[in-house]
Structure 1
Amino acid sequence: MAGLQRETPLTAFSDLVKEWEKCVAQGTSRLTQIANANQKLSHADGESWAGLADANALHVTLRHKLEREAHQCWQHLSDILDQLGDIIVNMRALCFLDVSSSSQDYEIDPTLSRLHYDLYLQQLVEMYQQELMAKALIAVDIVECYDHDTAVVYIASWQMQPFVNKPKQDDLAQLLAPPAAKKPESTHKLVK
């Protein structure tokens, strides 16, 4: 059973980050669908419909269909935001100070106190918490955004995740990682 790796808060956190990325990809798809529906709505309200006297019923039907499509996509996006919120809750549960079961015996770097370990882990969680707030604002704003260029900026902001600082995340992950078992140094020298 040497191949089994003990779960640490860091490995659980990494699994949650993968789940987060999956939700972000789904959210990007929903944002794109909302932006496309809104763009079609603004085009449908353009001057091209004014010349057709009999097109009023068709125009109303089209508007309702596109509004319904955008609303359904927004509902799915809202569900995705809820999933991201649940991921944050699970991330936060990994922090020792936030959980009453701090006596769990995790394999952590012996050079870090539990307090330092917790503080570093909380820094990681805080990045995702701020990102969730930004994503919630994007979700609210894009529903009323009929300018396609602005919608593209919203989608890009959703994808870029500016509050998740990857280099800092990597540095903190290295600090939190348990020390790897050192490989015995070879006593044999390579001869050319």
Structure 2
Amino acid sequence: MRAAPFALAFKNAADVRRYSRLGAMLTHSCSLGYNGAVLQALAVHLSLQGTLALPQEFINKLISEMEAVEKDETAQRDSKALNLAEFPYCARLHKVKELMERNGVSIEEVISELGNGIAALESVPTAIFCVLHCLEAREGLPEHYGGLERTIAYSLALGGDTDTIACMAGAIAGAHYGILAIPQSWQRSCEGAEEADQLAERLYKLYHLDRPEDGMTMSDSNQPHSHGNKYSETTTPARKGNLTGSARKLKDNAADWHNLILKWDRLNEEGSSVAAKIVNSKISKESLKEHDVLMEGDHLSVAPSLVHQNSQELQAECTNLQNIVNKMAHILSKMEKMVSAGRGMCELEKFQYGAKGRPAPLFQTWSMQQFAEVSSRLYDVYKQELALKQTILQELAHTTNMDLSMVYLSSWLYQPYIEDSSKLLLESLLIETGHRAL
């Protein structure tokens, strides 16, 4: 279940096979264990190439790849010692193929044929079947679910080692559908989401490093053919490899805008909770001054320990809010870089094609200038919103007027500068670049 990142770091299938095997050998001495990792990594690799759009071709390629992997002398010896088929993973993949061709498959049949246990042989092929089975809507799963949501739900319904199977199935499906297919509520509730995003960026950079090729990759020599199938070279979902140059950069920028705004929204929710704690702490402090007093003869004095404790709590929450605003400022700096990149691409296009620009749009209808304008408008909106939040940060803990405190709280939560038109701009950008279906 830990093998997916190898497919995200290496373009070449040979590298994916090699490094996923080495990575798994650190913890698995039997070939059944590390060959399962190879199969998982290859499934993610093929998914990144868009091959899942052609399910039969996807499973056939996996079988072909695993035949070569399982010819290894050690794998043959281990299979014999365990009284398994000569090519155990290939045999399971053929069962996956058979199940795909049936009109109706019960959960009991899937468990009986493929398994749902902790062993790689009883979980990796099962995860692959879950992904393939859920490419289309299935009875018993909510109609509004997308493919990735169906995959996770179906994996859980199988029972057994659900965390392993759902994790692997989610990685394969995620490579096919992309991050935009993951509900925002899922992303917000995911522990370590920010760290995972940072690691993903580093893997992305590794993936695009120039490396000497050891030979043809599967994506070079075995691209899905469009004839005789409803998917063509231009309509195959998630076919990331088809885009280069400005088109690739624009599509990546669109995804970056979505991800940065998603991070901003998470921080906004977190900041709203912290700001509310600051206001409540202020109210509590004022209450202490009025009511928590000690009689000392004819004089009244505030209980010093309680006031000190309240001040410490207030300071801690102010520090938390400062950290959140700093993170928002970091997001804005990334947005600014994307605006700068957009302007640079406009200048490059003028240099290449003259003042009139490119004769045909890179995607559907937008010109390069329109992409740059949308990025600039989104950046301006979030720049204004950050300035407001910085003002709220400076004033919130010091204001004595409760009505004004409520205004600050509402302004933080509802973000007045980010109007519906900004959300429409983002959705338009995602639709134009193919991240959102019409």
Question: Deviations 1:89-141 (Å, cap 9, x if unpaired)?
Answer: 112222224669x87xxx95353332321121110111111001001111111
Do 2:274 and 2:317's aligned partners in 1 also have CA atoms closer than 8 Å? yes
Partner of residue 319 from structure 2, selected from 75, 82, 91: 75
What is the one-letter code of the residue matched to 1:156?
Answer: S
Which residue of structure 2 aligns with residue 52 of structure 1? Answer: 295
Q: Give the distance between the partners of 2:379 and 2:314, measured in 1 at CA.
A: 31
| 1: CA distance, partners of 2:280 / 2:344 | 43
> Could you tell me which residue of structure 2 aligns to residue 186 of structure 1?
none
Q: How does 1:1-192 map to 2 (within 5 A)?
A: 1-2=49-50, 3=176, 4=238, 6=240, 7-46=251-290, 48-49=291-292, 52-53=295-296, 56=301, 59-95=303-339, 96-97=341-342, 109=363, 111-171=365-425, 173-174=427-428, 177-178=431-432, 180=434
Say if 1:142 and 1:151, in contact at 8 Å, map to a contact too.
yes
Q: Is the 8 A contact 1:10 1:173 kept in 2?
A: no
8 Å CA contact 1:34, 1:70 repeated in 2? yes
TM-score normalised by the chain length of structure 2 = 0.37
Deviation at 1:178, TM superposition (A): 2.6
1:5-43 C-alpha deviation (Å, 9 max, x unpaired): 645211110111110011011101110111111101111
In 1: Cα distance, 2:315 partner to 2:323 partner:
12
Judge which range, 113-122 or 165-174, deviates more: 165-174
Q: Give the alignment's Cα RMSD to 1 decimal.
A: 2.9
Change (3 A) 1:35 1:128: same
Cα distance change, pair 114–84 in 1 and its aligned pair in 2 (3 A): same
Give the 3-state SS of the residue equivalent to 1:111 in structure 2. coil
User: What is the DSSP-based 3-state SS (H/G/I as helix, E as strand, rest coil) of the residue aligned with 2:432?
Assistant: coil
Contact 2:258 2:426 in 1 (8 A): no
Structure 1's unaligned 5+ residue stretches are 184-192
SS at match of 1:112: coil
TM-superposed deviation, 1:149: 3.4
Q: Which moved more, 1:157-166 or 1:58-67?
A: 58-67
Contact (CA 8 Å) 1:109, 1:177: kept in 2 or not?
Answer: no
Cα distance in 1 for residues equivalent to 2:420 and 2:268: 15
Counterpart of 1:53 in structure 2: which amino acid? E
TM-fit CA distance, 1:173: 3.5
- What letter corresponds to residue 324 of structure 2 in structure 1? I
Gaps of 5+ in 2: 1-48, 51-175, 177-237, 241-250, 349-360
**Pairs aligned (count):** 176
Specify the structure having the higher radius of gyration (Cα). 2
Q: TM-score, normalised by structure 1?
A: 0.78
Q: Which has the higher contact order (CA 8 A, sep 6+)?
A: 1
Once residues 239 and 334 of structure 2 are traced to their aligned partners in structure 1, the CA distance between those partners, rounded to angstroms, is: 20
In structure 2, relative to structure 1, the CA distance for the partners of 1:108 and 1:94 (3 Å cut) is farther
Query: How many percent identity over aligned positions?
Result: 18
Distance in 2, matches of 1:99 and 1:23, equals 30
Contact kept? 2:374, 2:425, Cα under 8 Å: no
Q: Could you list the per-position Cα deviations for residues 127-171 of structure 1 after superposition, in whole angstroms to 9, with x for gaps in the alignment?
A: 111001001111111111233333222111101000001234314
Distance 1:81 1:160, change over 3 A: same
Cα 1:25–1:168 shift into 2, 3 Å: closer
